[in-house]
Chains A and B, each alone.
Chain A
């Protein structure tokens, strides 16, 4: 289990859990669901925020927000 915030660029992963927090419903609305596959496609300078490709869309997330999402590597 890896925190999304510490993921390297290009690793393909699957969401295994999303912590409940004030932005939980916002994450879900954007398509962050348990079982969805995602990949960090690039990061801003200083490594924060990060850009994630999810369902063919690129979404930016601050590192604190990404910390709520736990993922595991997929092949």
Chain B
């Protein structure tokens, strides 16, 4: 049997869902859309129920992509997903407003259970609800109370599900009812107004509010949190704490994961018989999967914090105080969350834009989010900084290397603001942006909800980005392992015949061969082929190769350089690689890595869309290749021109 959960946002609908299904849930997409579909299972006796948690909405009429799903499912009985039973969750302390959507669902004649959630709050706020009278108004509906946050009401809801009478006699709340066409504003308004008039009458009979009590506690916190100075100061501190965790503390599990995959690849390569298969697994697939898994600690931490901020109610205040600042740039207060997420990874950031209902504001946010420096850029930045930026302290405490790193992050942020400002004038849209947002009262976070939310986000990341990163890794592996004809074989033979080669020890020989092999491969040729294009930026073909390989994920840049220069990857410090790069000279005998070429390269990585998975996610979220291709092009042009300028000025 299919059960659907409906309700307004902030009514504890997700808590009811978690209460009923526990951890037996999965996340997918609604057919034909990218909206997350949370589905869970409940078994009572022999009967197995599939429970779907639909996005929260204020009425059947959609105002965002997520909410359109609700309209689509409710207005088409022939769909596979159409529920047998609807469980409608209401915040009992806000009966009046919650009833609008409820009466709409009621008039659609679906077998219905009404859950008066947050029942404890009614007593606290001295609200009396006459359930019998409510029942009279909605014959055929089972009404139960719950307090899902604290885990109460599960048995009552389950009983109601078991007792459901699919043919119960029902009436209509509004006889003239017609679900108006989505685009017919006038009809929607008439319908909604009519409904509210009846609801007001009903509320008068059913509900008695003995005392209108404002939430003094929340108001007190709000005074500080939206304060012109303290509000922003608190937000900056919150950001600093989050970034501290993402950058410093996440590096411990990340290095561990990195080490495990490196060792695993090395061991597997010894166990499996040598050949193409061995090569594919140990140099293509295992590092490819490793490249996905390594980001999980950061993403988990980021979403842990975002979930806490959301659960406590603070995030809505951030949106509230940031909206005015973001608007001149064509962004929305809600753009803050994607931009924050972008500092870890652009993929969850692009997905987080779904809450922005205005199409234009959402597109701009998606477009600029990848300019924020994500965690995959860190290895590139740190390598290049220690390579070309001297370790100097100014005034005894300003570390030049640290300052450069800070500047790179700032540069990304500047790009976000500039590009969105320009896009504001380019993208045309009649639709007006709005910020009708509920600022919920402050609550303690519910840890199970946070846990479930983190697991969902990681799953999405693994399956979305993971597929692309893995596929690209395999393609790049093939391009790096094979060359036209038997050119690789020939180069290997030639290298082995060199006198200098025979002087090397076994390990050095192996590295030297790997290096010449890469040079002779398709990718090596591509690197050489693009050299004329990138030499004005100060790069040689070796950097060209690494630019191409790092399309899978930016951090691959470092590993590719290590292979090309035939140095051993010696972990986080990369001392050997840095030494080798410092000594490298180009065909004219000049140093390859100077301040000019190094800075140019860093700037290139700040701006360029060196990430296939982001492109894939943008394609999925915007439903066309148009946006990702424009993004690739625009970011590429900005990267190229700025890197060119930087190199020519510093050269």
Chain A: CB-nearest residue to B316? A60
A65 touches B196 (CB 8 A): no
A41 CA to B438 CA in the complex, in Å?
A: 13
Q: With a CB–CB cut-off of 8 A, which chain B residues contact A62?
A: 323, 434-435
Kindly identify which residue among A51, A53, A57 contacts B97, using a CB–CB cutoff of 8 Å. Answer: A57
Q: With a CB–CB cut-off of 8 A, which chain B residues contact A31?
A: 96-97
A-B contact pairs, 18 of them (CB 8 A): A22-B431, A23-B434, A23-B436, A26-B63, A27-B436, A28-B189, A28-B193, A29-B59, A30-B436, A45-B226, A45-B324, A49-B323, A51-B226, A55-B96, A59-B437, A60-B437, A60-B438, A60-B439
Q: With a CB–CB cut-off of 8 A, which chain A residues contact B218?
A: 58
Kindly identify which residue among A25, A48, A56 contacts B94, using a CB–CB cutoff of 8 Å. Answer: A56
Task: Decide yes or no whether A61 CB sits under 8 A from chain B.
Answer: yes
A60 touches B320 (CB 8 A): yes
Chain B: CB-nearest residue to A20? B189
A53 touches B323 (CB 8 A): no
Task: Decide yes or no whether A44 CB sits under 8 A from chain B.
Answer: yes
Chain B: CB-nearest residue to A32? B436
Chain A: CB-nearest residue to B61? A25
Q: A26-B58, A51-B320 are in contact. List 15 more A-B contacts (CB 8 A).
A: A23-B432, A24-B185, A26-B434, A27-B436, A29-B101, A29-B192, A41-B214, A42-B219, A45-B228, A49-B435, A56-B215, A57-B438, A59-B436, A59-B437, A60-B323
Task: Decide yes or no whether B402 CB sits under 8 A from chain A.
Answer: no
Task: Decide yes or no whether B100 CB sits under 8 A from chain A.
Answer: yes
Q: What's the minimum C-beta distance from A29 to chain B, rounded to whole angstroms?
A: 4
Q: What's the minimum C-beta distance from A54 to chain B, rounded to whole angstroms?
A: 8
Task: Decide yes or no whether B559 CB sits under 8 A from chain A.
Answer: no
User: Can you list, as one digit per residue, whether each of B204-228 has a CB less than 8 Å from chain A (1) or not (0)?
Assistant: 0000000010110011001100111
A57 CA to B441 CA in the complex, in Å?
A: 8
Interface class of chain B by DSSP: helix
A24 CA to B222 CA in the complex, in Å?
A: 28
Q: Using C-beta atoms within 8 Å of the partner chain, give the interface range for chain B.
A: 35 or more
Task: Decide yes or no whether A33 CB sits under 8 A from chain B.
Answer: yes
Q: What's the minimum C-beta distance from B327 to chain A, rounded to whole angstroms?
A: 8
B196 touches A28 (CB 8 A): yes
User: Can you list, as one digit per residue, whether each of A8-51 has a CB less than 8 Å from chain B (1) or not (0)?
Assistant: 00000000000010111111111101000000011111101101
Task: Decide yes or no whether B231 CB sits under 8 A from chain A.
Answer: yes
- Residue numbers of B with Cβ under 8 A of A are 58-59, 61, 63, 93-94, 96-97, 100-101, 125, 185, 188-189, 192-193, 196, 200, 212, 214-215, 218-219, 222-223, 226-228, 231-232, 316, 319-321, 323-324, 333, 431-432, 434-441
For the complex of A and B, 10 pairs with smallest distance between CB atoms = A45-B228, A29-B58, A31-B97, A58-B439, A29-B59, A60-B437, A25-B188, A28-B192, A46-B324, A62-B435
Q: Using C-beta atoms within 8 Å of the partner chain, give the interface range for chain A.
A: 20 to 34
Q: With a CB–CB cut-off of 8 A, which chain B residues contact A24?
A: 185, 189
A44 CA to B112 CA in the complex, in Å?
A: 40
Q: With a CB–CB cut-off of 8 A, which chain A residues contact B196?
A: 28, 33
Q: With a CB–CB cut-off of 8 A, which chain A residues contact B59?
A: 25, 29
A59 touches B439 (CB 8 A): yes
B212 touches A60 (CB 8 A): no
Using A57-B97, A59-B437, A62-B434 as known contacts, say yes or no to A48 and B324 having CB atoms under 8 A apart.
yes
B436 touches A26 (CB 8 A): yes
Kindly identify which residue among B100, B212, B222, B431 contacts A51, using a CB–CB cutoff of 8 Å. Answer: B222
Chain A: CB-nearest residue to B435? A62
A60 touches B435 (CB 8 A): yes
B100 touches A29 (CB 8 A): yes
Q: What's the minimum C-beta distance from B181 to chain A, rounded to whole angstroms?
A: 12
Chain B: CB-nearest residue to A53? B214
B231 touches A30 (CB 8 A): no
A22 CA to B433 CA in the complex, in Å?
A: 10
Residue among B319, B323, B324 with most chain A CB within 10 A: B324
Q: What's the minimum C-beta distance from A33 to chain B, rounded to whole angstroms?
A: 5
Using A44-B324, A45-B324, A62-B434 as known contacts, say yes or no to A56 and B185 having CB atoms under 8 A apart.
no
Chain A: CB-nearest residue to B313? A58
Chain A: CB-nearest residue to B191? A25
Q: What's the minimum C-beta distance from B85 to chain A, rounded to whole angstroms?
A: 25
A25 CA to B189 CA in the complex, in Å?
A: 6
B222 touches A41 (CB 8 A): yes
A60 CA to B433 CA in the complex, in Å?
A: 13
B436 touches A65 (CB 8 A): yes
Using A49-B324, A60-B436, A65-B436 as known contacts, say yes or no to A42 and B223 having CB atoms under 8 A apart.
yes
B226 touches A25 (CB 8 A): no
Using A56-B94, A57-B94 as known contacts, say yes or no to A42 and B438 having CB atoms under 8 A apart.
no
A59 touches B438 (CB 8 A): yes
Residue among A23, A53, A55, A64 with most chain B CB within 10 A: A55
A56 CA to B498 CA in the complex, in Å?
A: 83
Using A25-B61, A45-B321, A46-B324 as known contacts, say yes or no to A56 and B125 having CB atoms under 8 A apart.
yes
